[in-house]
Amino acid sequence: MFLYLLRRVLLIIPALFGLLVLTFVMLRVVPTDPAAALAGENSTVEQIEAIRKSYGFDQPMYVQFWVYLKQVLTGDFGTSLYTNRPVADDVFLFLPATIELTFVALVFASVSGVLIGTLAAVWHNSLFDHTVRIVTVAGLAVASFWFAILLQMLFAMQLDWLPLRGRLSTGMPAPPGISGFYLIDSLVTGNFRIFGDALWHILMPAFTLSLGGLATIARFTRSAVLDTMQKEFVTYETAAGYPRWRVVAIYVLRNSLVTPVTQIGLLFGALISSAVAVEAIYDWPGIGSYMVQAIFTSDYKSILAVTLIVGVIYAIVNLVVDLVHALIDPRVSEQM
């Protein structure tokens, strides 16, 4: 088991390195002069030259890459054109909001997805099963930004049940910044009013974000459980008199979770992707919004920085998924 963990961790390194190379190459693919691109539209000639020097565009490629590597490893991603702060600072400012949102969406999608998928499989061919099949397929075809707009129209504008945008109502102070996650911070410091407000604000964005994931997880769980139920050991367990609910909830589920868990891990990456559009709609101050802002201002530095950081997060999440995978199915680590 330990060896497997070690191998898995070591495998990340080439992937991350490749990611660095990719982002490095991406910048130099820009049709215009990279230095001018990084300097921004309203820059002076001196500014462009300064950038050229600091990034080393006039140097040979391998020197440039070395410069780039140094910058990344020291966390220097340059200064944002829009906010005039170091990009690294910006990202860490906005990151918690996205992680909080993504996490809530992930938990909701996973739990409901597994539950719905399992029930649909156990009640195979029932009305519930057919409904689930239809809804999950439709759920994957819905454009999340469109769905967000619809939800906003209904719940915020028409019914006024939920707040339209943002993490907190205007005038509501943010809780003391311990983790950056409003829900946790407010609970931990006993600010229940803030907690309630933050919770109310996270509901629609999280639900919108979770929709595609919920559908996928439900589908994969359903099919995995259906497959497992066909297996001999399920027949045997029934013949040996195991209580039905335990057969399903414990013995079948553990065997069926491999694919859904992999999906949950992949979902994280998909959620971060979708977060870009969803954050834009709900004015959620996360790196998705930051990225959108960077797009509008052609702030290449920020865009690349966000891409790189998201890539790293994604790689770590995949690693965790593989580890959980090995925990669930003890045969995996032995095969490696």
Applying CB under 8 A, which of residues 98, 110, 274, 333 lies at the interface with another protein? 274
Of residues 290 through 329, those in contact with another protein by CB under 8 A are: 291-292, 295-296, 298, 300, 303-304, 306-307, 310-311, 314-315, 328-329
Q: Check binding of 249 to another protein (CB under 8 A).
A: no
The amino acid present at 155, given as its one-letter code, is F
Q: Check binding of 41 to another protein (CB under 8 A).
A: no
Stretch that binds another protein, among 18-26, 85-93, 177-185, 186-194 (CB under 8 A): 18-26
**Cα gap 84→243, rounded to integer Å:** 64
Applying CB under 8 A, which of residues 9, 13, 18, 196 lies at the interface with another protein? 18
Applying CB under 8 A, which of residues 53, 177, 254, 283 lies at the interface with another protein? 254
Task: Tell me whether residue 48 or residue 313 sits nearer to another protein (CB atom).
Answer: 313
Determine which helix (DSSP H) or strand (DSSP E) holds 119, and give its type and residue range.
helix 87-122
Determine which helix (DSSP H) or strand (DSSP E) holds 282, and give its type and residue range.
helix 258-282
Task: Tell me whether residue 175 or residue 311 sits nearer to another protein (CB atom).
Answer: 311
Crossing angle of helices 87-122 and 127-141, rounded to 10°: 160
Give yes or no for a contact between 276 and 290, defined as CB atoms under 8 angstroms apart. Answer: no
Applying CB under 8 A, which of residues 5, 16, 93, 174 lies at the interface with another protein? 16
Applying CB under 8 A, which of residues 19, 93, 174, 188 lies at the interface with another protein? 19
- Give start and end residues of each alpha helix (H) in 56-86: 61-73
* Structural tokens at position 241: 């008199």
Classify 102 as helix, strand or coil.
helix
Q: Check binding of 9 to another protein (CB under 8 A).
A: no
Of residues 165 through 194, those in contact with another protein by CB under 8 A are: none
Q: Check binding of 14 to another protein (CB under 8 A).
A: yes
Give yes or no for a contact between 106 and 216, defined as CB atoms under 8 angstroms apart. Answer: no
**Cα gap 181→201, rounded to integer Å:** 13
Q: Check binding of 52 to another protein (CB under 8 A).
A: no
**Cα gap 36→52, rounded to integer Å:** 8
* Structural tokens at position 179: 């983790």
Of residues 118 through 137, those in contact with another protein by CB under 8 A are: 124, 133-134, 137
Applying CB under 8 A, which of residues 220, 282, 284, 290 lies at the interface with another protein? 220
